[in-house]
Amino acid sequence: MSAMLLAHMVPHAPDEFSGKDEFVLKDEFVGKEEFAGKEEFVGKDEFVGKVEFSGKVEFVGKDGFSGKEEFVGKDEFDGKDEFSGKVEFVGKDGFSGKEEFSGKEEFAGKDEFSDRDEFVGKVEFSGKDEFDGKDEFSERDEFAGKDEFPIH
């Protein structure tokens, strides 16, 4: 995966969060099909991750455009996900079902990112258009820009 793609996947602003998400869902329904089954599951998901990257992009284009982009990113997270579920259903061209599960999700995350963009561009064009008359124009557009924004 390229560094540019990674840069777009990480927010440009510092993002710190810790969260706890608990939920219980009960779903009961009656319908019209023919099947009978029972499904039970219990799951636990734990993970710890750390992503660090830095990138530098320099380019010069046909329109007299050159650019420089530098970025550094850091993403740290740890998570815990627990859930259990039970699904029961019986049918005869009409089915009744019951679904229950409870879940718990905990996570803490920290995102750090800094970005710096510099560019200088020059666009020049002139044109001539003739129709029942004469329309001549020339235009010149030059710009030099520097955009720096370290984000804390």
| pLDDT tens-digit map of 98-146 | 666 666 666 666 666 666 666 665 655 555 554 555 455 555 555 555 5
Contacts of 24 (CB under 8 A, 6+ apart): 100, 101, 102, 103
pLDDT for 122: 60
Contacts of 65 (CB under 8 A, 6+ apart): 59, 119, 120, 121, 122, 123
14-23, 40-49, 87-96: segment of lowest average pLDDT: 14-23
Q: What is the pLDDT of residues 23-58, one digit of tens each?
A: 656 666 665 555 566 666 666 666 666 766 666 766
Calculate the CA 75 to chain-centre distance.
13
Domain membership of residue 129 as a residue range: 3-149
pLDDT for 128: 55
Say if pTM beats, i.e. exceeds, 0.85: no
Provide the number of structural domains found in the chain. Answer: 1
Looking at residue 150, what DSSP letter applies? -
pLDDT for 7: 47
Residue 8 has pLDDT above 50, yes or no: no
Phi, psi of 132 (to 5 degrees): 35, -10
Asked if 48 contacts 77 with a C-beta cutoff of 8 angstroms, the reply is: yes
- H helices of the chain, in order, are 3-9
Asked if 122 contacts 76 with a C-beta cutoff of 8 angstroms, the reply is: no
